Amino acid sequence: MLFVPGSNAAWLSTVQVYGADYVMFDLEDSVSVREKDTARLLVHEALKSPVWAGVPVVVRVNAINTPFFRDDLEAVVSAGVAIVRLPMVTDAQMIRHLDAELGVLEGKYGSVPGTTRILAAVESASGVVNAVAIATASPRMMGIALAAYDYAMDMHTTHDAAADESQLFFARCAILHAARVAKIHCYDVIYADVNDTEGFLREVAVIKKLGFDGKSLVNPRQIEPLHNAFAPTPEEVERAHRVVAAAVEAEKVGMGVVALDGKMIDAPIIAAAHRTIRLAQVSGVQVAGGVR
Ligand SMILES: CC(C)(COP(=O)(O)OP(=O)(O)OC[C@H]1O[C@@H](n2cnc3c(N)ncnc32)[C@H](O)[C@@H]1OP(=O)(O)O)[C@@H](O)C(=O)NCCC(=O)NCCSC(=O)C[C@@](O)(CC(=O)O)C(=O)O
Ligand SMILES: [Mg+2]
């Protein structure tokens, strides 16, 4: 999910070429107070461009307790935004408030009620502690994201992913559990040093293993390495197909558990193999004999 500063007209008009899964037009911290009105107008116009017809675009509005929130929301809902990312979410009440405001604006602008989705960004101790309540606060919720820089400040520490990421471990686990309870997506923090691909990939390996669905990005150069790292390897796909084939054979003879290459295979391992195959399909992973 690639952040694009809403005040940058050139980037708003070229960002579709980079192949991010989601683009996220930003009205919050990448836009200076002087540029808030211009950015809101630019994002409103960009959302209406035929380039984005049928593509689910995310907009990060300013936080609920700012003087910009109400105008931001009206500008993006009136232009048909698909997903609103709400920053600085500390509790479920904020999500319920956004849900109600969206309902009113959908009515005003003739959108189908309930179709605008919410992505909550947790950037504080309160947000992390209330993550389950936040993630389950509305049927509009499509995801929850962690924001490291504001969170680190709230925790009286600093964030430098390249140096050490242990200070994020609790928050990452908390929002992941909340996302899984709510059955929504979970997005990891940005990696600010866009030239440090090695450090970026180290962090990506950690979040992939924890179970994140993706990551907020700040630069198009981070998209391909992230996609490659999240795609299963051809060897993993090959093995997944063999696991599924072994499971089919086992079922034919009425066995719930079998061995493949000396390793036990049972229901969760078979389910994981199906997931690997689905991921390979969406990632276009090649295996021997072509794309499977
Ligand atoms: C990072 C850098 C300065 C590097 O500049 P560089 O000059 O090195 O970029 P280059 O690599 O040279 O660019 C190569 C080509 O891509 C174009 N291009 C670059 N970036 C593009 C882009 N984003 N969208 C479209 N196009 C882009 C560029 O125009 C060029 O095009 P071309 O000339 O044609 O080749 C730049 O990327 C940038 O400003 N990024 C956006 C930063 C941003 O949005 N921050 C706010 C979100 S974080 C936050 O708020 C904290 C948070 O809240 C987080 C949370 O909530 O999760 C928390 O608390 O933690
Ligand atoms: Mg922030």
1, 3, 221, best to mutate for ligand 1 pocket (most atoms within 8 Å of CB)? 3
What are the sequence ranges of the domains in the chain? 2-230, 234-283
123 marked ligand binding residue = yes
Distance 205 CA to ligand 2 centre (A): 23
Q: How confident is the model at residue 288 (pLDDT cuts 50, 70, 90)?
A: low
Residue 290 predicted with pLDDT over 70: no
For residues 172-185, average pLDDT? 98
Residue 102 near residue 64, CB atoms below 8 Å: no
pLDDT: which is higher, 247 or 164 = 247
Distance between CA 253 and CA 262 in Å, rounded? 19
Average pLDDT, the chain: 95
Distance 120 CA to ligand 1 centre (A): 21
Residue 224 predicted with pLDDT over 90: yes
Distance 234 CA to ligand 2 centre (A): 37
Report the DSSP pairing between strands 185-188 and 214-215. Answer: parallel
Residue 88 predicted with pLDDT over 80: yes
The confidence score (pLDDT) of residue 267 equals: 92
The atom of ligand 1 lying closest to the CA of 149 is: 60
Distance between CA 46 and CA 40 in Å, rounded? 10
What SS3 class is residue 164? strand
For residues 63-68, average pLDDT? 98
Which residues are paired to 243 by β-bridges? Answer: none
Residue 217 near residue 223, CB atoms below 8 Å: yes
**pTM score:** 0.94
CATH hierarchy code of domain 2-230: 3.20.20.60
* CA 71 to the chain's CA centroid: 24
Residue 186 near residue 213, CB atoms below 8 Å: yes
Nearest CA residue ID for atom 40, ligand 1: 218
Interface predicted TM-score (ipTM) of this complex, two decimals: 0.97
For 28, the token pair is: 């919050």
Distance between CA 128 and CA 4 in Å, rounded? 25
Distance between CA 182 and CA 141 in Å, rounded? 8
The confidence score (pLDDT) of residue 291 equals: 45
Distance between CA 99 and CA 172 in Å, rounded? 25
The confidence score (pLDDT) of residue 256 equals: 82
* CA 57 to the chain's CA centroid: 12
Say how many Å lie between the first and final Cα of the chain, rounded: 26
The confidence score (pLDDT) of residue 292 equals: 45
For residues 205-227, average pLDDT? 97
For residues 73-97, average pLDDT? 98
Which residues are paired to 4 by β-bridges? Answer: 25
Q: Quick one: which of 92, 143, 96, 97 has its CA closest to 121?
A: 143
Q: Quick one: which of 28, 23, 82, 46 has its CA closest to 219?
A: 23
Residue 242 predicted with pLDDT over 60: yes
Weakest mean pLDDT among 6-20, 80-94, 160-174, 189-203: 160-174
Weakest mean pLDDT among 21-35, 44-58, 132-146, 248-262: 248-262
Q: What is the DSSP string of 215-255?
A: E-BSSGGGHHHHHHHHSPPHHHHHHHHHHHHHHHHHHHTT-
State the alpha helices, DSSP H only, in the chain.
Answer: 9-14, 36-48, 69-77, 92-109, 125-129, 131-135, 148-154, 169-182, 197-210, 223-230, 234-252, 267-283
What SS3 class is residue 77? helix
The confidence score (pLDDT) of residue 257 equals: 85
Asked if residue 223 has its Cβ within 6 Å of ligand 1, the reply is no
Nearest CA residue ID for atom 31, ligand 1: 11
Distance between CA 60 and CA 226 in Å, rounded? 21
The confidence score (pLDDT) of residue 32 equals: 98
